[in-house]
Structure 1
Amino acid sequence: MHKYRPLQSLTAVALTLSILIGCSSDSEGTTTSLSPLPSQSASPAPSPAETSKSPSEPSSSVIDEQPSTVFYEIFVRSFYDSNGDGIGDLRGITEKLDYLNDGNSDTKNDLGVGGIWLMPINPSPSYHGYDVTDYRAVNPDYGTLEDLQVLVEEAHKRGIKVIMDLVVNHTSKSHPWFIDSAKNKDGDFRDWYVWAEDQNRPVKGTSASGSGDPWHSVLGSHYLGIFWDGMPDLNFDNPEVRSEMKDIGRFWLEKGIDGFRLDAAKHIYEDLSSDKSEATTSKNVAWWQDFRKAMSEVNPEAYIVGEVWENSAVSVGAYLNQAFDSGFNFGLAESLLQSAKSEKDSGIAYTLERTYKLYSKISDGAFTDAIFLTNHDQNRVMSQLDDDPNHAKMAAALLLTLPGNPFIYYGEEIGMLGVKPDEGIREPMGWYAEGTGKGQTTWENRSNNEGSDSSSVDIQNSKGASLLQNYRDLIAVRNEVPALQNGNIRDYASGNSSITAFERLTTKERVLVVHNLSGQEQHMKLTAKGNDGNYTAILKDLSKSAALNGEEITLPPYSTVILQP
């Protein structure tokens, strides 16, 4: 449960970051450098109780654990079709829950995820659904509210949480609110949107989302729509809008939904590129704090993860102060893919260890990172990695051994290809080698994946060492090792640029994760750290051919090994 405290100013957050991780920022707030932590004063001698700890226990007494689970992002339209109309639907997801997690830890043919994120399921005139026309209904293409509740119930039986996209920054221009707002200058809904003429605002400027001109004309007036003219922005300075959005959130939690992914979370008040200021961000955070408090009245454990598309720890961290449980880590995603592609260590553990000190301080230890490789707005992993399965396996291994809630974009686990435009990265999930069969969605051609010899579940299942099996194995290991599932991170110098190594620590356990990112055999010397003993045994070896000889470990190409003291 969240404990509510006064909002820290962004200046205070930035100062905290500079103290904790020694970074400098440019005028846009982007981290430009990282330096080691200042040296600490000598600690007093440990007590007998501290020195009698188990060899596997870390010596540090301050460990901010991040209890986590693996989430799976689903574009409903593309996933699985239950009624033969070519469009994926909610019943289709229910039919495929056993593919995601069958609820039986003894079986090995499911992914083993603990959560699913449903991309927009509300009625919408567009294929993607990010322009909503009714916030309290289900898109009829996807089924009914009853179908959603059955999905949630069946998911819960298997230990799967269900969160949904909540798009409150804007509506569709086909929403009844906007239609009334545009037609009736004296109507009840006029002030629910941002009209330049009503607010004496100049019809100029550049959209904060980078989409160009944010102002659009209708019936002689200009309304704000920072993404495009089909998505008019709501006016959150209007208390009726804020109240309605909180009511909508409560509505879905009362229906059994476990939380929300909040779209365009930083744009509630940041509408123009000139609005990127501390004051504007503070207004955003204050609104989301208010929203969080309202959701906790219904479900104190509701999981809220926000899309704050920034690489700056300061910018994301501000929203972890009694607002979001998580913010998506876009900067980390770039680093993971770069490491896998270049086969070189990028210092991710060093950066994360220091960033998490900031996040822990801001959130009073209540944050969990939201980590991922790509999502529905980015070119797919396999396309970014030039269709190299070994690099895809290493990207997955890095992701699934780090702290936080890892998010897998549907089809990532089978190596689906996809490049923009957006339809190309949201193509139908590949279930069958021949591209047709029960449940296969057909609303869009699988043009990026046509002719691919691997991007279907059928083909992946037929291979012993497939990417799909690699995902299953990695998630199983994560679920079996408490330190991998819930632990914090500590950097571990490998002395080898082809190796990424880091420790994962809970208050009771520590393990060492070692990745050989390269296609050549690599060697690494193990060294004891501080008061902790050295690592002496292999706990998990996904390659099944690593070797530990005294203080040196030999890693086969493209391999991941977990060691224990």
Structure 2
Amino acid sequence: MEKRKLIHLLLALTLTIFGGVSVKDVKAQQSNVSKWPKGVTYEIFIQSFADSNGDGIGDIKGATAKLDYLQNLGVEAVWLMPINPSPSYHKYDVTDYYGIHLDYGTMDDFKQFISEAHKRNIKVVIDMVLNHSSSEHPWFKEALADENSPYREYYVWTHKNDPQAQREGKTTGADSYNTQHWHKVDGSDYLYYGYFYGGMPDLNYDSPKLREEVFKIGQFWFSEVGVDGFRLDAARHIYPDERATDNHNWWIYFLSEMKKANKDVYLVGEVWAPAEIVGPYLKGLPALFNFDMGFAITKAVNEEDAGDLVANHKKIREYYQNINPDYVDATFLTNHDQNRIMSEVNGDMNKAKMAAALLLTLPGSPYLYYGEEIGMRGKKPDELIREPFLWDVKAKDKIRTTWMQPRYSTDESVPPLAVQMKDKNSIYNHYKSLLQLRNKSQALTYGELVPLELNTKGLSAFERASEKQSLLVLHNLSKDPISVKLPQQLSGYKKVYFKNKAAKLNKGTVSIPAYSTVVLEK
């Protein structure tokens, strides 16, 4: 007995020295059945997350200090919005693909972040912006200054007197590119192509030299830095829409090259489009964001009616599985480009909680946007959906960023994390309980989806079944209690596996309070 205590004491001491991970946290993760990329990923905007040095700007050391928080929440990976040097606050216009923005720290800081994340079984995915560079990138500045520069072919050009001129090294004419995306060069007869705006000139993927440069960049971050994956920005716009097949093939090529650096490479792509356009990308991008599901969940909770949410989700999943049986369905509510979910439900806490419950019980590999778990609010313009995370009441919050004045997520509108942790009914504890539920459930992590129609308005009902577990998930999306008699085919569900309010199961009848969830197990 004393020997066993000594072993536990030594283990605790070792974990305290190497990374500050408690025995309790290790046991919790060991009991999880989920394994990333099927686990939950947390999106972080470093600029707004946590400030370690008091300059008002979030940094990598600040994020490192909050890894224990993320582990305790139940997160198994983080996605960092761009961390490369950039002239903008959002950093989606890169000036150095091999560096870390000075405000965020150093490469050594980032390698330490990866090391500490991995100690906690948290993977690290970084935003990789390969569609375009910044107009301040040395490549573009040199190409702009000298038409004979070797970097000229890294970008897309046309002559102002010849709008049909062919792109260098390209077989399709420049008319494939909408004229509104061409930008004038002062003192020159040439225009350059920038799909998003003039400060983001598109890279020319018809250039073999550019393609090789991009492979070097990717392999550097995998082999020398040690990241686990990339989130690929604007993945649909490598080539124009008329060259969709070239887009699909490029990502297949990119994936094969990245596997040379990391055989377990994870690539998740941003292809914001209907399923029939998204589907073909799955051969090169095994994970893609499911924008349709986020919109459908928001609609369902706002209307208090699931409608065809579950049936459509199953239909889209089957379509994608036919293209790539191993695809990863990156589900989410909203992200850094969209109004926050709390604002989308007009500040209704019940509906925000229901949206989280749907996301974390339906199939997929969910992404959470930082601050979503504490009910942060925000509406466009973009800066206002990327406001500082509220860690503690303002007088005590030494790590809160101050680079901007928030309009939506303030101390008056959002209780900070430290306050919510002490409130068992807070949205933070709601998220945490759902993450724990999902992480420990075979069916919720890996199970197939069976939509159910129980003819009860306001009720979303579906089964999640794996080889080891079968669950019946019931969400009451409405403001009124629901009582439903389970049909004969569901009579085997006799055990309450999870509930977040006082739901009851009595002789095959389930009573579900307003805005609540109950999960039954066979």
* TM superposition score category, shorter chain reference: 0.7 to 0.9
Conserved 8 A contact 2:394-2:411: no
Q: Which residue is 1:335 aligned to?
A: 296
Query: Corresponding residue for 2:125?
Result: 163
Contact 1:527 1:534 in 2 (8 A): no
* Pick aligned residue for 2:497 from 539, 549, 564: 539
Correspondence for 2:452: 492
**Where does residue 244 of structure 2 map in the other structure?**
281
1:408 paired to 2:368:
yes
For the pair 1:479 / 2:439, whether they are aligned, the reply is yes
Tell me the residue number matched to 2:6.
none
Q: Which amino acid aligns with 1:83?
A: N
1:465 and 2:425 are equivalent in the alignment: yes
Name which of 311, 315, 327 aligns with 1:354: 315
The separation in 2 between residues aligned to 1:233 and 1:414, in whole angstroms, is 37
Q: Is residue 2:94 matched to residue 1:124?
A: no
Secondary structure (helix, strand or coil) at the match of 1:237 reads: coil
Say if 1:526 and 1:534, in contact at 8 Å, map to a contact too: no
- Residue 417 of structure 1 and its aligned partner are, at CA, apart by 1.0
Question: By how many angstroms is 1:527 displaced?
Answer: 2.7
In 2, Cα distance between equivalents of 1:164 and 1:355? 27
Please say if 1:555 is aligned against 2:512: yes
- Cα pair distance change 1:198/1:506, threshold 3 Å: farther
| Residue in 1 that maps onto 2:18 | none
The answer to whether residue 216 in structure 2 is matched with residue 247 in structure 1 is: yes
The answer to whether the 8 A contact 2:304-2:458 is kept is yes
User: Per chain length, whose mean CA-contact separation is higher, i.e. which structure has more relative contact order (CA < 8 Å, sep 6+)?
Assistant: 1
SS in 1 for 2:84: coil
Runs of 5+ unmatched residues, structure 2: 1-34, 166-173
| SS at 1:369 equivalent | strand
Structure 1 residue 267: deviation in Å?
Answer: 0.4
What code does the residue aligned with 1:288 have?
W
TM-score (norm 1): 0.81
> Which residue does the alignment assign to 2:38?
68
Other-structure match for 1:51: none
> What CA distance in whole angstroms lies between the structure 2 residues aligned with 1:93 and 1:427?
15
**Offset at 1:313?**
1.4
How far the C-alpha of 1:206 sits from its partner, in A, is: 10
| Distance of 1:238 and 1:546 partners within structure 2 | 61
Query: Structure 1 vs Structure 2: percent identity of aligned residues?
Result: 44
Match of 1:94?
64
Q: Give the deviation of 1:552 after TM superposition.
A: 1.7
Q: 1:528 to 1:124 in 2, by over 3 A?
A: farther
CA distance in 1, matches of 2:43, 2:175: 34
User: What is the aligned partner in structure 2 of residue 292 from structure 1?
Assistant: 255
- The residue number in structure 1 matching 2:198 is 229
**1:142 partner SS:** coil
User: Number of residue pairs matched?
Assistant: 477
> What's 1:564 paired with?
521
1:263 aligned residue? 233
TM-score normalised by the chain length of structure 2: 0.88
SS at match of 1:458: helix
Provide the rounded CA distance (Å) in 2 between the counterparts of 1:198 and 1:453. Answer: 52
Distance 1:206 1:213 in 2: 12
Counterparts of 2:254 and 2:50 in 1: how far apart (Å)? 33
**8 Å contact 1:460–1:466 — kept in the other structure?**
yes
Contact 1:90 1:151 in 2 (8 A): yes
Instruction: Quote how far apart the aligned CAs of 1:111 are.
Output: 0.9
Output the CA distance in 1 between the equivalents of 2:221 and 2:93. 18
Contact 1:372/1:407, CA 8 A, preserved across alignment: yes
The letter of the residue matching 1:339 is A
Q: Which amino acid aligns with 2:276?
A: V
Cα deviation for residue 536 of structure 1 reads 1.9
What's the offset of the Cα at 1:504?
1.2
CA deviation after TM superposition for structure 1 residue 290, in Å? 0.4
Match status 1:389 vs 2:346: no
Indicate if the aligned counterparts of 2:393 and 2:411 stay in contact, CA closer than 8 A: no
Equivalent position of 1:15 in the other structure: none
CA contact 1:430–1:456 (8 Å) conserved in 2: yes
Contact 2:450 2:463 in 1 (8 A): yes
C-alpha distance in 1 between matches for 2:253 and 2:266: 15
Q: Given the superposition, is the C-alpha separation of residues 454 and 207 from structure 1 closer, same or farther in structure 2, using an over 3 Å criterion?
A: farther
CA shift, 1:436, in A, is 5.8
1:355 counterpart letter in structure 2:
I
* Per-residue deviation, 1:202: 4.3
Shift of residue 387, structure 1, vs aligned partner: 0.6
Q: Which has the higher helix share?
A: 2
Aligned twin of 2:98: 136
Local SS of the residue matching 2:355 = helix
CA distance 1:404–1:340, shift in 2 (3 Å): same
**Structure 1 position 448, deviation (Å):** 1.6
Q: Is 1:217 the equivalent of 2:184?
A: yes
* Residue 453 to residue 233, structure 1, CA distance change in 2 (3 Å): closer
CA 435–315 in structure 1, closer or farther in 2 if over 3 Å, else same: farther
Aligned letter for 1:554? S
Amino acid corresponding to residue 65 of structure 2 in structure 1:
E
Check if 1:518 corresponds to 2:481: no
Decide whether the 8 Å contact of 1:528 with 1:535 is kept in 2: no
User: Which runs of no fewer than 5 residues in structure 1 stay unpaired?
Assistant: 1-64, 102-109, 271-275
Deviation, structure 1 residue 201: 3.7
| In structure 1, distance between residues paired with 2:282 and 2:251 | 10
Amino acid at match of 2:453: A
Structure 1 counterpart of 2:4: none
Residue identity in the other structure for 1:82:
S
Identify if the C-alpha distance between structure 1 residues 445 and 435 changes in structure 2 by more than 3 Å, giving closer, same or farther: farther
Farther-moved stretch of structure 1 (245-254 vs 129-138): 245-254
* Structure 1 vs Structure 2 CA RMSD: 2.0
Question: 1:85 maps to which residue?
Answer: 55
The residue type paired with residue 337 of structure 2 is D
Selected match of 1:430 from 390, 393, 396: 390
Say whether the 8 Å CA contact 2:74–2:432 is kept in structure 1.
Answer: yes
Structure 2 counterpart of 1:490, which letter?
Answer: V
Offset from partner CA, 1:413-455 (integer Å, 9 cap, x none) = 1111111111111111111222662111000111222353434
